[in-house]
Copies of this chain bind each other. A is one copy, B any other.
Amino acid sequence: MADSYTPTPDDHFTFGLWTVGNRGRDPFGHEVRPPLDPVDAVHRLAELGAYGVNFHDDDLVPPGSSATEREGILKRFRRALDDTGMRVPMATTNLFSRPVFKEGAFTANDPAVRRFAIAKTLDAIELGAELGATTYVMWGGREGVEADAAKDVSAALDRYAEAVNICCAHARDRGYEMRFALEPKPNEPRGDLFLPTVGHALAFVGELEWPDMVGLNPEFAHETMSGLSFHHAVAQCLWHGKLFHIDLNAQRIGKFDQDFRFGSEGIRDAFYLVKLLEESGWDGMRHFDAHAYRTEDADGVWDFARGCMRTYLILRAAAQRFAADADIQEALRVAQADRLGEPSLPGGPTPEGIAGLRSDVAGYDEDALAGRGYGHERLDQLVTELLLGAR
């Protein structure tokens, strides 16, 4: 039963194979759902209106597969893509599950492990390229430390940068149209991870050899774990021209990595995020990096996937109503929201301009400026009511 919140491929919704394929294992419990064939995932997601699927190398081609097995898997997977029109916009590497990465991957102390991680990534880049991926995500799940003495952070950042540079060089050598997107996370599974927030990763990009090839893949849950505003982080990415991909899900502050269905927690932040993406003209993917609750059987997984997309569309519609709501627009004027775009010193920071500013300000009436109300309570309440469907 289609309603206005039924997704279509034009909405650019994607899921990782590992998301709908998540079997419900957690630190305290065993798997509760059977394995999901990637081909089935493609078909089911296509039926639900998704645009594409993404994967880690190991999600699609099990470690240890022979070249022939790999070939067979790809052929079958490509057929599913062709049959459904689904795309693979993004690929990534699993550098965290296998014991070899227990002390780090790109930033492991042992150079052999680092080389192993880089080679695995290069292979995975080729796999991604073969299937048409133009964005390559890098999440450094083991790049961090618990016993701080064991790891020199400066050297770790050097090695991290070196590894990303090698991957960029390789993509350039091969002529791949591929951009890299770093995914920050503050902690878990390591006690502290390097590049813990969107900010740290943005700064890091500036030190790389080909900074234009590298941007960010911010994730709702990861930024929220630290109590930071996710939509502020995404806005700063956009400000730097560095939003290359995005991972949508839900999370409560200060908890384990929950990867809940998009919009199920943090509704307000999710609303501002959707509004930001839509109003910024973001034409990339809306990727869901989440999984179904462990209470679910195989059917529940598709309820989960459907829910992620529906909530996005509901929030998108709310953002459209926001723009059309006369009371809200008037409240924005009271808040002088439109005036933040005006330069503070229109002619730029020339000596004359600065002198002029100083002499002007000497004539200001501080009390009058201080006395103005900005009407944020009214504005925020209007948004709350809009969000709750009460206007």
Contact = CB atoms under 8 A, between A and B. Distances in A.
Contact of A388 (B364, B376, B389): B389
Given A188-B27, A383-B149, A115 B295 contact: no
A224 to B, nearest CB: 10
A154 B238 contact: yes
Contact of A300 (B150, B202, B378): B378
B366 A116 contact: yes
A336 to B, nearest CB: 4
A279 B386 CA distance: 25
Contact of A147 (B111, B169, B255, B293): B293
Main secondary structure of the interface of A (DSSP, over half): helix
A289 interface: no
Contacts of A369: 100, 110, 112-113, 116
Contacts of A101: 29
A64 to B, nearest CB: 10
Given A297-B371, A361-B116, A378-B300, A232 B196 contact: yes
Nearest to A188: B256
B254 A254 contact: yes
A119 B381 contact: no
A11 interface: no
A78 interface: no
A292 interface: yes
Q: How many copies of this chain are found per oligomer?
A: 4
A249 interface: no
Interface stretch (A37-45, A85-93, A349-357): A349-357
A114 B197 CA distance: 29
A380 B181 CA distance: 32
A304 to B, nearest CB: 4
B202 A373 contact: no
Interface stretch (A47-55, A68-76, A130-138, A338-346): A338-346
A388 B114 CA distance: 34
Interface in A246-289: 252-258, 260-261, 263-265, 267-268, 272, 276
A258 B377 contact: no
B99 A32 contact: yes
Contact of A32 (B149, B315, B342, B370): B370
A169 to B, nearest CB: 4
Nearest to A192: B229
A28 to B, nearest CB: 5
17 contacts: A109-B374, A146-B295, A146-B380, A149-B337, A149-B379, A169-B350, A184-B199, A191-B260, A197-B199, A227-B252, A261-B377, A267-B384, A296-B373, A296-B376, A300-B378, A307-B377, A387-B389
Which 6 pairs of residues, A with B, have the shortest CB-CB distance?
A389-B389, A297-B373, A199-B199, A199-B200, A254-B254, A153-B235
